[in-house]
């Protein structure tokens, strides 16, 4: 039984003192591959360095996170795009929109998101979407941009069953992480309604730590608790959850065995 953490920020300073142990701990808990979404231009170096250090485990994405979109976003996008030809990336992301913390740059976020959707189509890569408090707007944008192989995943999905149906029609998947283990979360009904073929597992390490480690730093080894909770909700074995979601990740991100 192998798992893939499709969204983990292991290159952040949170892991600088024990990254070797964190990577080994993931392997010991059957998490075989670790997919790393980018944040901005400054995070690209540490992310690529970690992938060079652990080439069999870590795989990089290229993107500008919506909360990193400021006045200089066009310059950041130009520089990030120039890196695309120098390294192999498995996806465009983490991109999208975020209206939770600050709405000052929402127009710029939308422009940045659309630019990165164009990258995804041009490079024939999946896109990893952050959609906090902006899911309906993002769905509208995706419908206008659909075609040319556009595909991907809604990271940390927190929408409704109705929004799930729209996402599935567009050929996108949903990323489910530690939030599904929280008692007050409303994800159980959505997970129950979702086809397992449309689900990816993720941790969003070092954030969104699952029960029973909630309150501590998250890491990829804890992915089994997400898989176990999904199995419980859907009344199937954790082995089935692992098998199907791992296959989903291999297919979407075009990973090699």
> pLDDT digits over 229-238, tens only?
999 999 999 9
Distance CA 14, CA 11 (A): 8
CB 68 within 8 A of CB 76: yes
Distance CA 120, CA 114 (A): 10
Mean per-residue pLDDT, 151-180: 97
Q: What is the pLDDT of residue 115?
A: 98
Q: Among 216, 214, 211, 251, which Cα is nearest to 228's? A: 211
Q: What is the pLDDT of residue 146?
A: 87
Residue with tokens 């929402």: 106
* pTM for the model: 0.97
Domain annotation for the chain: domains and CATH numbers:
3-252 (3.20.20.140)
Residue 147 in this model has a pLDDT that exceeds 90: no
**Secondary element (H or E) of residue 52:** helix 41-53
Q: What is the pLDDT of residue 257?
A: 64
Mean per-residue pLDDT, 193-204: 98
């Amino acid at each position: 039984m192998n798992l893939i953490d499709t969204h983990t920020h292991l290159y952040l300073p949170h892991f600088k003192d024990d990254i070797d142990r964190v990577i080994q701990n993931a392997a010991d808990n059957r998490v075989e591959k670790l997919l790393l979404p980018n944040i901005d231009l400054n995070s690209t170096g540490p992310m690529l360095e970690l992938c060079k250090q652990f080439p069999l485990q870590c795989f990089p994405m290229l993107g500008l996170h919506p909360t990193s979109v400021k006045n200089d976003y066009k310059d950041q996008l130009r520089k990030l795009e120039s890196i695309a030809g120098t390294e192999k990336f498995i996806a465009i992301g983490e991109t999208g929109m975020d209206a939770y913390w600050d709405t000052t740059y929402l127009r710029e976020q939308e422009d940045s998101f659309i630019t990165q959707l164009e990258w995804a189509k041009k490079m024939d890569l999946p896109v990893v979407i952050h959609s906090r408090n902006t899911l309906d707007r993002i769905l509208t944008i995706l419908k206008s941009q659909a075609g040319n192989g556009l595909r991907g995943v809604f990271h940390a999905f927190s929408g409704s069953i109705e929004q799930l149906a729209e996402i599935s029609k567009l050929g996108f998947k949903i990323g489910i992480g530690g939030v599904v283990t929280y008692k007050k979360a409303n994800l159980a009904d959505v997970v129950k309604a979702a086809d397992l073929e449309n689900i990816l597992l993720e941790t969003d390490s070092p954030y969104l730590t699952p029960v029973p480690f909630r309150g501590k730093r998250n890491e990829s080894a804890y992915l089994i608790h997400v898989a176990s909770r999904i199995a419980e909700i859907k009344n199937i074995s954790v082995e089935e959850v692992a098998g199907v979601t791992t296959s989903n990740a291999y297919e979407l991100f075009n990973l090699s065995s």
